Amino acid sequence: MESQELDKNPAVRKLRDSMPRAIAEVIESKGETTIVVPADELLRISEYLATDPALLFSFLSDISAVDRFPLEPRFEVNYHLVSLEKQVRLRLKVRLPGRDPAVHSVTPVWPTANWHERETFDLFGIRFDGHPDLRRILMPDEWEGYPLRKDYPVTGFR
């Protein structure tokens, strides 16, 4: 199983070689590769994936979070990467605790992460350390609560 995964995706293979502690888990499902990485390694891995000449994941298409309430670790943040040269997709996943969820911003690697992270902060309350301008983006500035969390009712608090 392990060796099959290694063969399948060059990104997984290269990461295992150069940063053995960086991969917590590899999930192959429905033709998509997900690499679960520890939160404190995310920025280093992102830099590596974006700049390594054999991978070149230069295009960050999306960041989205999932709330697994009441499970712990409660939050997942997913980063969907595209290598324009190799035409491959890859998903990075970071798991965060329910208390004070925070992860380092990837804006130094992909400037496009700016608004994606603001949106995730706005709707989930996940903090991105080192983000240049972490404000609410869709909800009004004075809004209380984080609407896409599972303990936030669909009808809102009234």
Partner 1 sequence: MTTTTTIETPVGPAQPMVLNMGPQHPSTHGVLRVILELDGEIVLKADPVIGYLHTGIEKSCEDKTYSQCITLTDRIDYLAPLSNNLGFCLAAEKLIGIEVPKRAQYIRVLLTELTRITSHLVWLGTHAIDLGAMSVFLYSFREREEIMKIYEYVSGQRMMTSYFRIGGLALEPPPGWLDRVQRVVDSLPGHVDEYEDLLTQNRIWIGRTKGVGYLSAQDAIAMGVSGPLLRASGVAYDVRRAFPYSSYDEFDFNIQTQTAGDSYARYQVRVAEIRESIKIVRQAMEKIPTEGPFRAEMPGIIPPSREEMKTSIEGLIYHFKIFTEGFAPPPGEVYQAIESPRGELGVFMVSDGSAKPYRVKFRAPSFVNLQSLPKLCEGRLLADVVACIGTTDIVLGEVDR
Binding site residues, partner 1, CB under 8 A: 29-32, 34, 58-62, 64, 66-67, 78, 80, 82, 84, 87, 89, 91, 110-112, 114-116, 119, 123, 136-140, 147-148, 154
Q: What is the DSSP string of 9-64?
A: -HHHHHHHHH-GGG-SEEEEETTEEEEEE-GGGHHHHHHHHHH-TTT---EEEEEE
Given the complex with partner 1, which of 9 and 58 has the nearer CB atom?
58
Which CB, 28 or 41, lies closer to partner 1? 28
CB of 62 vs partner 1, minimal distance in Å: 4
Q: How far is the CB of 127 from partner 1 (least distance, A)?
A: 19
Q: In this complex, which beta carbon is closest to partner 1, that of residue 19 or of residue 56? A: 56
The minimum distance between CB 13 and partner 1, in angstroms, equals 21
Nearer to partner 1, 19 or 137 (CB): 137
Q: What is residue 137's DSSP assignment?
A: S
Shortest distance, CB of residue 59 to partner 1, whole angstroms?
A: 6
As beta bridge partners, residue 79 has: 63, 92
Q: Which of 135, 129, 119, 142 is closest to 96 using CA atoms?
A: 129
